[in-house]
Amino acid sequence: MSVARPRPVVDAAIEASRGPEWRTMPAESVGVDVDRLITIRSGHDVTERRRRLVDHLWKHAGLPSSTPSIDAGVTVPELDSLSRSRIDRATLSMAHALKSTSYLVHPRRPVPGRLGIFLAGHGNARKPVYHRPQLAAMQTFLDRGYRVAAIDMPLQGWNPADMELPTPGATAPVDPASHERFAQYETPDFSAATYFLDPVVTLLNHAARAGRLTDVVTFGFSGGAWTTVMHAAVDPRVRLSIQVAGTWPFFLRPHPAAHPNFGDWEQRRESMPGLYDIAGYLDLYVLGATGGGRRQLQILNRFDPSCFPGVGHRSYAQPVRDRAALLGGDWEVIDDATHGKHQISDHAVAMLAYELDRQPDPPEER
């Protein structure tokens, strides 16, 4: 199908109101040899690095094969405006009695094999955040026959913040909804990063049991974009992954336009050094895009007031894209300068629609 690619138009008024740090390369990128930071160089590296990530995350148990508990035909006020046939609730019990509640929304005219996964960012006072942009992204999937899962971050939104303390006598957290509490759960025998990934993997497993999946697309915003990146790196069932305003490589984190922004607990190298020693963000990007027919988009809001703004992505965008292409995949940065908020913009939703509508290239013979 031939469709016109949306073109972002720079908001001139916002651009004029910002200083040079929002439109010029940051000092943090000077002298950085990005090609050397990308350590995945062959198909063997892809296989081995993905295996090591899975082993580290699930402690040699492999990618989860289980499924969540399903309650069909439920009512969800936050999703009531979506045009759909029904909504199912997915409930997953995880380690230390932490629970995940997600929802699977069924389209009125389903296309067999299609599944979209929307990964939300941080909630507001632990309330689900499903405003117009989030709902527009989900409706974009539904209009094209995709079942679409709505998954909140652990401890956020629909998910309770109640869980067992890691050890008897451990101190209860000041903020039970903060991901900083996961630090005390991280041990040689358990990775707290699986709290973010298990709801995605197991709900995908559930959808696959209803029929063979031929097109799996993930779309994550802010904190949910981190999960999008990590999941696409370890689960090659994902054809297309789109991360919006959610990640940056470590060398750019001190950039002053970002205030600076080192990310939440799960995003920082010191939180999980064993994980990020296996694959830093540049390698995770390559892993998420590598393989015949696989593609990953990173949409960054140039004038975002909180997360990863400016044009620092120019330091790594082409090297990552080149490495992914060398390994049979496709990776691209979209510089969204159409607005000045931390949000899913109309342009980002238009890009999702474009990617779903265009005819993907057939997988290469390997």
Is 326 in a helix, a strand, or coil?
helix
Q: What is the mean pLDDT of residues 17-27?
A: 91
pLDDT of residue 236: 97
277, 318 Cβ separation under 8 angstroms? no
Residue 1 has pLDDT above 60, yes or no: no
pLDDT of residue 123: 66
pLDDT of residue 364: 45
**Which strands, in side-by-side order, build the sheet including 240-244?**
69-71, 86-93, 99-106, 147-151, 114-119, 215-221, 240-244, 295-301, 330-336
How high does pLDDT run on average in the chain?
Answer: 92
Q: What is the mean pLDDT of residues 125-140?
A: 78
Q: Where are the domains of the chain?
A: 20-161+177-357
pLDDT of residue 127: 56
pLDDT of residue 292: 83
Q: What is the mean pLDDT of residues 330-334?
A: 98
Q: 365: pLDDT confidence band, cut at 50, 70 and 90?
A: very low
pLDDT, tens digit, 9 for 90 and up, residues 47-97: 999 999 999 999 999 999 999 999 999 999 999 999 999 999 999 999 999
pLDDT, tens digit, 9 for 90 and up, residues 186-242: 999 999 999 999 999 999 999 999 999 999 999 999 999 999 999 999 999 999 999
For the whole prediction, is pTM greater than 0.75? Answer: yes
DSSP-assigned letters across all residues of 156-196: STTS------SSTTPPPPSSTT-GGGGGGG-BTTB-TTHHH
Residue 346 has pLDDT above 50, yes or no: yes
Cα–Cα distance between 272 and 275 in angstroms, integer?
5
Superfamily of domain 20-161+177-357: Alpha/Beta hydrolase fold, catalytic domain (3.40.50.1820)
pLDDT, tens digit, 9 for 90 and up, residues 258-288: 565 677 899 999 999 999 999 999 999 999 9
Cα–Cα distance between 240 and 145 in angstroms, integer?
16
pLDDT, tens digit, 9 for 90 and up, residues 87-105: 999 999 999 999 999 999 9
pLDDT of residue 366: 36
pLDDT, tens digit, 9 for 90 and up, residues 166-175: 988 888 888 9
Q: What is the mean pLDDT of residues 107-132?
A: 82
pLDDT of residue 359: 61
Cα–Cα distance between 50 and 57 in angstroms, integer?
11
